[in-house]
Amino acid sequence: MTPFELRKWQSSDLESLVKHANNDNIARFLTDQFPHPYSTEDGERFLKSAAAHDPVRIFAISVEGEAIGAIGIFPQDDIHCLNAEMGYWLSEEWWGRGIVSAAIRQMVDYGFSTFPIKRIYARPFGSNTASQRVLEKAGFDLEARFEKTLIKRGEMIDELVYGIRKERK
């Protein structure tokens, strides 16, 4: 596995963020809130948002000091307050090196030790088999499959829900 670190985003990451995020092969597996093409203005908005939380909720995935992706944990509220959603993306040039599954395991530890939650979940598209595999490698269980509930680029796709529980970790 390629050595990496999870760290706070920095304003100096803007160029790297835009370079790695501006990739349709990444955007096609994320919500429409992740734009394509990914502009400098999009990166500036993201960095401002990432800096807005204490404790940190969105980390840079960094290799040799360069931000090559992101991973975040988002505690829910109201009746969902014991849950947190996890999301992530990684630069295509770094796919297949074990980085994401290891980053997920680190975020699970961070999430359970930082927030008063009992469950972390992720919602990959049914078409994103790579994301499903990394979640399974990180100890997540498939909890649900909702057939053709999402629309992405005019196509109806399945939504999967993977979860990991604090008491089973």
- In the chain the domains, ranked by start, together with CATH numbers, are 5-168 (3.40.630.30)
CB 85 within 8 A of CB 123: yes
Q: 168 falls in which pLDDT band (50, 70, 90)?
A: confident
The amino acid sitting at 98 is G
Structure confidence at residue 169 (pLDDT): 60
pLDDT tens for each residue of 54-89 = 999 999 999 999 999 999 999 999 999 999 999 999
Query: Tell me: the pLDDT tens digits for 84-124?
Result: 999 999 999 999 999 999 999 999 999 999 999 999 999 99
